[in-house]
Amino acid sequence: MDMRIASPGLAPESRLWLTSAQLVDGRRVDVLIAGGTVTEVVAAGASDGRPGRRLDLGGYLLLGAPAEPHAHLDKTGTFDDVACGAGELNGAIDAWQRWSAGRDRADIVRRAEGTLSALVNHGATAIRTHVALRPDEKVPIALETLIELRERWRDRVNLQVVPMLSPDTPDALAKTAVKAGADRLGDAPYRSPDPDAAVARLVGLAQKYEVGLDVHTDENLDPGMLTLATLADLVIARDFPHPVTASHCVSLGQVPPDRRRPIVDKVAEAGIGVITLPLTNLYLQGRGRSPVPRGLTAVQPLLAAGVVVAGGGDNVGDPFNPMGRADPLETASLLVTAAHLTVEQGYSAVSDAARQVLGLPPAGPVPGRVADLLAIKASSLTEAVGRATEDRLVFMGGRLVSRVTVRRELFGGVSSPDGP
């Protein structure tokens, strides 16, 4: 592959041909990018002699770039430093709150940028991160730090920041967060002594400050805990005008079909997007139970009802989950395995659907779409998702923002079956 012609930081208004790319349907094509948009897709070789800079992809599979719709960059990479018993949600919350008091900006930046780098190198051109607010904070340090990182990284990734409120969060702090530049408001109402009242308060604050919502919803296996239904009722009743996303929604997966159907239909009517988070929820949910439930939301029924269902990576190397590679392809693979999605559905959950819940236009090697693209060394989508090689090029708005090249060497001879 000739990597010498297209340099990182290529101006988005420049014409760039990505030549000899393979599409999911097997076609070899040349793709023209101009003004940050895919403008033409022609048969490989048909662009020869036409104006524009050129980058030979050498048969790499070209996809719409994935997105990460649910991260916790304020917590990432802290597992080894936070004294926490493994695998219990309430214990992780308590340990985190103790350890995180008094953190400084430098520590947050160092860890967050490490995971940001991994996400971008793996193909994510858009990320939404939640950030915990401490009720006693006058200045929300973690929130301000991540908003600063949003600006610092804006040429590599579209970063959205969502502060997480709690029942103890003063309304004034929510206002401070919005004025500081929060993209949406979040909370975990199911943890409140009065979950329905917590949902109503959160919706009211979002209406007051004119922002959307991304709510940590029903992250447990109790089929009686269904604040998702309360959220949908309020969105419909109040004609809530801003986008709403419900993350986790684990308990919905434990509800029998006859009770589940009206809730799913209500979520669809309200236009609420759902983000399922297999890595963390498979880690946290169902410990000590027999049989062990999978701990995911009702992915298939939600899709069947027309709900947009995205997949996210959630926690990476923190008290809530010590695992995670910050790779959307890991999430897609888990959705194929644990949620029984097809490979195409799994990748759509971390690409098209993820962009949709982030409020972003479609991306991909299709004329008229945003030129946020992932080129990966794979012969098919199944190989890309299943093997998830690190060998990738990432384009944001037509600019090359990341390139990882893998070199593999195998030493030693292989004996013949007929002799030494």
CA dihedral 25, 277, 181, 179 (to 10 degrees): 140
pLDDT band, residue 13 (cuts 50/70/90): low
Question: Residue 4: is its pLDDT beyond 50?
Answer: no
The whole-number average pLDDT for the span 193-203 is 97
Mean pLDDT of 193-197: 97
Quote the CA–CA distance of 267 and 244 in Å, as a whole number: 10
Give residues with Cβ within 8 angstroms of 289, minimum separation 6.
221
Locate tokens 């041909």: which residue?
17
Question: What's the confidence (pLDDT) of residue 288?
Answer: 86
Is 56:20 a contact under the CB 8 Å cutoff? yes
pLDDT in tens, 275-294: 999 999 999 999 888 899 99
pLDDT at 318: 94
Taking phi over 0 as left and psi of -120 to 50 as alpha, with beta for the rest, 198 belongs to alpha
Q: What is the per-residue pLDDT for 2?
A: 37
Q: What is the mean pLDDT of residues 340-358?
A: 98
Q: Average pLDDT of the chain?
A: 94
Do 16-65+364-404 and 68-357 have matching folds?
no
Do 173 and 135 form a contact (C-beta atoms < 8 A)? Answer: yes
Residue given tokens 């340090």 in the structure block: 141
Q: pLDDT of 215-254, one tens digit each? A: 999 999 999 999 999 999 999 999 999 999 999 999 999 9
Structure tokens given for 388: 């998830």
Provide mean pLDDT across the span 53-69.
97
Whole-angstrom distance between the N-terminal and C-terminal Cα of the chain? Answer: 37
DSSP for residue 276: E
Q: What are 361's two structure tokens?
A: 């236009």
Structure tokens that stand for 35 in this block:
């003004």
User: From residue 193, how far is each of 166, 189, 199 by CA, in Å?
Assistant: 11, 9, 12
- For the segment 121-167, what is each residue's pLDDT rounded down to a tens digit? 999 999 999 999 988 887 799 999 999 999 999 999 999 999 999 98
Domain boundaries, the chain: 16-65+364-404, 68-357
pLDDT over 50 at 214, yes or no = yes
Under the banding of pLDDT at 50, 70 and 90, the label for residue 419 is low
Burial class of 419 by CB neighbour count within 10 A (0 to 12, 13 to 18, 19+): exposed
- Expressed in percent and rounded to 5, the helix, strand and coil fractions of the chain are 35, 20, 45
Evaluate whether the domain defined by 16-65+364-404 bears CATH number 2.30.40.10.
yes
In sequence order, the 6+-apart residues with CB closer than 8 A to the CB of 141 are 103, 104, 105, 108
In this predicted structure, the answer to whether residue 364 has a pLDDT above a threshold of 50 is yes
Reference 129, options 86, 89, 183; nearest CA is: 183
Q: How confident is the model at residue 11 (pLDDT cuts 50, 70, 90)?
A: low
pTM: 0.94
pLDDT grade, residue 50 (50/70/90)?
Answer: very high
CA 113 to each of CA 20, 72, 108, 117, 149: distance values in angstroms, whole numbers, following the listed order? 33, 12, 8, 6, 8
Fold of 68-357: TIM Barrel (3.20.20)
